[in-house]
Amino acid sequence: MSSRKRIVVLGSSGSIGGQTLDVVRRHADRLEVVGLALGTRVDVLEAQVREFGVLHAAVGDENLREAPAARSLAAHLALAGDAESAATLGFGQDAVVDLVRLPEADVVVNALVGAAGLRASYETLRAGKVLALANKESLVVGGDLIMPLAAQVDAQRRANGLAPKTGPAGALMPIDSEHGAIYQCLLGERADEVTRLWVTASGGPFRGRTKEELVDITPAQALAHPTWNMGAKISIDSSTLMNKGLEVIEAHHLFDMPYDRIEVVVQPQSAIHSMVEFSDGSVKAHLGTTDMRIPIQFALSYPDRWDAPVRPMDFRTLGSLEFAAPDADTFRCLALAREAGRAGGTLPCVMNAANEIAVAAFLAERCAYLDIAGCVEAVMEAHETRPVESLEQLEETDGWARRTADAWINAR
């Protein structure tokens, strides 16, 4: 049996997926990639498969099955497999999800973008695997389904001797600077002594601007994040503060914390990744270099800590740390996400789907920047919230919200 943790990376061509592979390169003696999936970049997938000796791959876009790059990848995998371990190459969303069930996989890194990642998270935990989660929508949309499954896998890990002797059993590890920070601040602490979670925000590229100054914002301006290098959708969400709203909902589910005890604070230097406040007034803060490889590596190394993947922060050159309250009146998405989270049920699903449609429309210059919040609010108001019952129900609700959001944008 391999002494290395064997991982599947879903979304391997994105920012988180690429940085996960950087961590694997640094710790090749501890990590082994056994499956890779992405949406469309078959050329990138082939290069990754060859570099890491991967036998199982999937492409989300079924229409690429006959593409020259796909045929080249298929030919390579046919030669790479053997009688004991036949290689596989699948196309379509079902093929992506199938990778989480690989018998040899220990950990699934879910770095898929958008609501498409929910089923992958659900099936990862159903298969008893560790879920290293970078897909926000899994918890925002399906937290009521995901967290009970994670608790079951935690219990299995304890029963099988796979959990650490102290601390969380580690079935669900957040790959996120904020939630990774909170997770680490809570280690060794009692849940009943936690009084507040402080989720930090950079404030995005438009911090301090008024609503009037946001009327003519272009996609290029919104994509220019001041401290983090992220994908397009997450960059837009960061600029509207929707990203922070999604993180508040995630924190509610991950740490079983009421919404009135989760606060957002703007910390422009992005040096403090989040904080936890305790009943005696003490506050623990997680500080570090602004590089996602740190939380990615911790999610994969837990409960151990491996050598730093980046240069540590030099506090002598950090300078000042600033703090401010977020402007939820100007950046309405934060307030809308909180409203959806408090209401619970299917409303976060609707809010998330409407936001995905609105962000895509803004990036395609089909709507204005401020229309993103307007679209989300209109679709939320049109929805009759119900308790979450199943993945199928959430998928149906997601589809309704997307159609409603698209119709709202087309009517502008």
Q: Which residues make up each annotated binding site for Mn(2+)?
A: 176, 178, 247
Which of 260, 250, 264, 262 has its CA nearest to residue 144? 250
Annotated binding site: 14-16, 39, 135-137, 176-178, 202, 225, 231, 238, 243-244, 247
Question: Strands, DSSP E only, in 23-167?
Answer: 31-38, 56-59, 88-91, 107-110, 130-133
Structure tokens that stand for 274 in this block: 């989040």
- Residue whose structure tokens are 């290098």: 229
Taking the C-alpha atoms of residue 225 and residue 321, their distance in angstroms, rounded to an integer, is: 18
Annotated binding site for NADPH: 14-16, 39, 135, 137, 231
3-class DSSP state for residue 390? Answer: coil
Q: What DSSP letter does each residue of 313-356 carry, written as one string?
A: P-TTS------B---TTTSHHHHHHHHHHHH-TTHHHHHHHHHH
Residue 63, classified by CB atoms within 10 Å of its CB into exposed (0-12), middle (13-18) or buried (19+), is exposed
Taking the C-alpha atoms of residue 268 and residue 202, their distance in angstroms, rounded to an integer, is: 4
- Maximum distance among all Cα pairs of the chain, rounded to whole angstroms: 65
3-class DSSP state for residue 221? Answer: helix
Annotated binding site for 1-deoxy-D-xylulose 5-phosphate: 136, 177-178, 202, 225, 238, 243-244, 247
3-class DSSP state for residue 194? Answer: strand
